[in-house]
Structure 1
Amino acid sequence: MKYLIIALSMSLSVTAKEFKNFKDTYKLSKSKRSPKKLRSLYYAVSKNSEKDIGALINSFVKETRPNRFVGTSGHKTAQDYIVSYIESNVRKNNTSLKTVKFVPDIEYAKELFRKDLAASKDKLSAVNLKKWQRLTNERIQQVDGLKSTNGYNIVWEKKGIKNPNEVIVVGAHYDTAAYDLKNFKVVNKGRQPGADNNASGVVAALSLINILAELDLQKTVRVVFFDYGENGFLGSYDYVKNLNLEKDIRVYSYVELVMLGYDTLTQDKEQKLGNMKLYYSPASSGLHKAEKSIAQRFYGKSSEGTFRVDFKVSPYDFVYGDNTSFQKFNIPSVVFTQNWESDSNATRIHTPADHVNSLNIKTLHHATNNIAMSIASWALDL
């Protein structure tokens, strides 16, 4: 039930009119591009403003209405938006950008759904088992209908100057899905803005690109916008299969950015703001030790700043993101996300209620800068 619980050609219209609001909003002078200390990096990262974060997520969600379901016009617009934003806003020195078409492995997704249900049978009552079986069948039918719909991963890379074969992969999925959990049905039409899940991750990734593009990195960072994230993680599954064929690189870690905008005080069990999570695999996983070390390194470097978000490092069997594809191929993976134990947005995601007004933009801003400190400090050898 792990996957089930959470589960629960037009041209781009934005171009110059929308992007003029972001053009040149993040630029560093030549003297600031090679920080030697964390405090200098903190200065560079801090130039990424809350105003720009808010404008960007509003723009992305607005332009991709009513939803980003795979194969829809909003889904295609999301692809165009991401590419156009990077081409219009990001310094191109030592960078590359490509869109990679793939044929989704539908049978893999269907088997994933079946295994998930089978693993949960002993935990469900007879009534609930019947409901989840019905939803599983609907999800299988939905993904079966996408057999002829190609997926598109968007890959941005900045090569390291000193150690280009040392790589971190950062990812965020851009598609959406909707479910009616009252009636245990898949929703194939209608409004699903997907602000938290996962426009927040997309915006954090775009902002990270803005920052990294301005820095003289020593090691390589790839930022990938995954397709089919809501349909068996097929975009990341295809990507990591091909990544495994690249024999001349060493992947330090995969870093998942998902649901980074939800943060409340009144609904939070701890009654705190800014208590987010950086998850790594539990002790039962063979990747536990490596992922714990990576998460602790990221936390230590990011805490040098004074951002109003604390990504508490926690072991957790996080099966709701593209990290699962990388872990399947034995690549250490960590997840920057909301606090799922204390302040989860589970009732809004995959529904029309997942809109920008439900998010805490200040938290999204500070979370993005915190993540940038973590990734950039590694890539700069700080």
Structure 2
Amino acid sequence: MKKHLLAIALFALCTTGLNAASPKKVTPEKKGVETINRATAEAHIGFLACDELEGREAGWKGGRIAGNYIISCLKQMGIKPLLAGDYIQPFDVYHAERQVKGKRWQVHPDSIAELKKVVHQKLALRNILGKIEGKNPNEIVIIGAHYDHIGYDPMLEGDQIYNGADDNASGVQAVLQVARAFLATGEQPERTVIFAFWDGEEKGLLGSRYFAMNYPDIKKVKGYLNYDMIGRNNREDQPDYFVYFYTAAHQAFGDWLKKDIEDYRLQLSPDYRAWDNPVGGSDNGTFAKLGIPIIWYHTDAHPDYHLPGDETQKINWLKIVDITKASFLAMWKLANEKKY
């Protein structure tokens, strides 16, 4: 009997040692997901939507400070610049003299040439662009969010600053957290990943349009993931709700989200909207017009849209973190799946 008990004890010790020496492997995706958190979201949004940035209007001081902040974050993480050793893609936009009604800011060279013939306005804007190089240099995916908002109005009574916490500091924090998550995986993606922060979206998708017209490798882009307002509740009785737009021809985009919500127990209730021609709404339109498949995360309208009440304390932190996690998982697949 003693020999029998000794054998059982030895077997238990050997088995325990074997299990300890062979822990369950953590996937690269899980390593990335685990870096995404509320504290980081609060830090980024808290800075970008603070009163001192005066609403981050494109071409104004607050917008430039926001761009400089993003560059500092990219440098600190070790994300390389995209263009010729520089994170900044500068460009100028033009507008008719302010008394001319019904005109838009222009970024196309032909439209600019016409405006230069008469009295006109001009703004100097900046896209901020970083990258992680992929194993295959001939394929690229982009994740982007606009970092500008609509500034401030000194003639408003009371709060005069359009802080833009949801629109779109929420999206900027997501791109920054996803960039860090990619690095945390410890693996080089198959495709090159561009991390894009667009300027001038509020004035007519100007930054993404300029990029698409001038980026020499635009035909290598295989997918674009967009954020525009991912931090608020459309209805307070549905805090998990958000809209998930994607190119209808790529049903896998919808399947990915359904599986990731289940696997990672994300507290999200998406409204899946497959879109045959997703050319409107935000910077996704710039890429959809070129036939590039898109994914767009959006929590839908709320009472503070384009008003001074769009402030940090109204963000749904649980939802914004889970959307950021879900989008990292989607972006990881965009960067690595051979077919989608």
Report what 1:333 is aligned to: 294
Q: Does 1:322 align with 2:283?
A: yes
Q: CA deviation at 1:364?
A: 0.8
Q: CA deviation at 1:331?
A: 2.0
Task: Look up the SS of the partner of 1:104 in the other structure.
Answer: strand
Provide the C-alpha distance between the structure 1 equivalents of 2:178 and 2:92, rounded to a whole number of angstroms.
28
Distance 1:97 1:276, change over 3 A: farther
Q: Would you say the 8 A contact 1:104–1:238 is kept in 2?
A: no
Question: Which stretch of the first structure deviates more once superposed, 347-356 or 38-47?
Answer: 38-47
Q: For residues 51-102 of structure 1, what are the alpha-carbon distances to aligned partners after superposition, in whole Å with 9 as ceiling and x for unaligned?
A: 22122211222275221112221111111111011112x1348987621011
Q: Pick from 224, 232, 246 the counterpart of residue 217 of structure 2.
A: 246
Q: Would you say the 8 A contact 1:178–1:351 is kept in 2?
A: no
Q: Does 1:313 align with 2:272?
A: yes
Q: For residues 351-370 of structure 1, what are the alpha-carbon distances to aligned partners after superposition, in whole Å with 9 as ceiling and x for unaligned?
A: 10000111101111111111
Q: CA deviation at 1:186?
A: 11
Q: Does 1:70 align with 2:58?
A: yes
Report what 2:146 is aligned to: 173
Unaligned runs of 5+ in 1: 1-35, 111-133, 282-287
Q: Would you say the 8 A contact 2:142–2:225 is kept in 1?
A: yes
Q: Would you say the 8 A contact 2:94–2:120 is kept in 1?
A: no
Q: Does 1:378 align with 2:308?
A: no
Distance 1:141 1:380, change over 3 A: closer
Q: Would you say the 8 A contact 2:32–2:182 is kept in 1?
A: no
Output the TM-score relative to the length of structure 1: 0.67
Q: For residues 90-134 of structure 1, what are the alpha-carbon distances to aligned partners after superposition, in whole Å with 9 as ceiling and x for unaligned?
A: 134898762101122658xx9xxxxxxxxxxxxxxxxxxxxxxx9
Q: Would you say the 8 A contact 2:140–2:193 is kept in 1?
A: yes
Distance 1:147 1:328, change over 3 A: farther
Identical columns (%): 23
Provide the C-alpha distance between the structure 1 equivalents of 2:193 and 2:70, rounded to a whole number of angstroms.
17
Unaligned runs of 5+ in 2: 1-23, 108-114
Provide the C-alpha distance between the structure 2 equivalents of 1:152 and 1:137, rounded to a whole number of angstroms.
26
Provide the C-alpha distance between the structure 1 equivalents of 2:151 and 2:211, rounded to a whole number of angstroms.
24
Q: Pick from 89, 98, 102 the counterpart of residue 100 of structure 1.
A: 89
Q: For residues 280-336 of structure 1, what are the alpha-carbon distances to aligned partners after superposition, in whole Å with 9 as ceiling and x for unaligned?
A: 35xxxxxx42xx435225425533322222434213566220111112222222211
Q: Would you say the 8 A contact 2:54–2:151 is kept in 1?
A: no
Q: Would you say the 8 A contact 1:275–1:310 is kept in 2?
A: yes
Q: CA deviation at 1:39?
A: 5.3
What one-letter code is carried by the residue in structure 1 that aligns with 2:133?
A: K
Distance 1:58 1:138, change over 3 A: farther
Report what 2:9 is aligned to: none
What one-letter code is carried by the residue in structure 2 that aligns with 1:137?
A: K
Q: CA deviation at 1:376?
A: 1.4
Provide the C-alpha distance between the structure 1 equivalents of 2:64 and 2:102, rounded to a whole number of angstroms.
24
Provide the C-alpha distance between the structure 2 equivalents of 1:75 and 1:279, rounded to a whole number of angstroms.
28
What one-letter code is carried by the residue in structure 1 that aligns with 2:68?
A: D
Q: Does 1:158 align with 2:145?
A: no
Report what 2:110 is aligned to: none
Report what 1:360 is aligned to: 316
Count the aligned residue pairs: 295
